[in-house]
Amino acid sequence: MAERYFTVADVEALIPELARIMEPVMSAHAEVSATQERMQAEQQRIAMAGGGVLDRRAWRADKDKVERLTGEIRRGLGEIVELGGAPKDLGLGLVDFLHLRDGREVNLCWRYGEREIRHWHGLDEGYAGRKPL
């Protein structure tokens, strides 16, 4: 049995706070992904060249940036969990909330940018399985 079931109204009341938290989390996630891709490309370039000179200052700056942004992401996700949400996809800004629908546990599904809760999905389904309320 769940600790708490959310109603549609419960989650809709949280949307302003969720949006405030999720916007910088999504931005940091995108920046981390881009930085990590750049770092991997640099590693591959050096490996393909059979070695090379690494700009250690730039590498350290990128590494520090990833660590700082990862901390920001963790803090934001912690805030969402404290609200009762389960963050799912940082690229889309998805957060699920446990809900009781016709006696069955399901998730109410919120996506960043949505102003109302209009979808739900089963616990074993994801975003692709969203159904209208």
Q: What is the pLDDT of residues 96-107, one digit of tens each?
A: 999 999 999 999
pTM to 2 decimal places = 0.86
User: Which residues are bridge partners to 51 per DSSP?
Assistant: none
CA 65 to chain centre: 18
68, two tokens: 């700082």
Instruction: Give the integer Cα–Cα distance in Å for 89 and 102.
Output: 26
27 vs 129, more confident: 27
Average pLDDT over every residue of 55-60: 83
Nearest to 88 by CA among 16, 29, 1, 37: 29
Tell me the one-letter amino acid at 3.
Answer: E
Q: 111-120, pLDDT tens digit by residue?
A: 999 999 999 9
- Show Cβ contacts of residue 33 under 8 Å, excluding neighbours closer than 6 positions: none
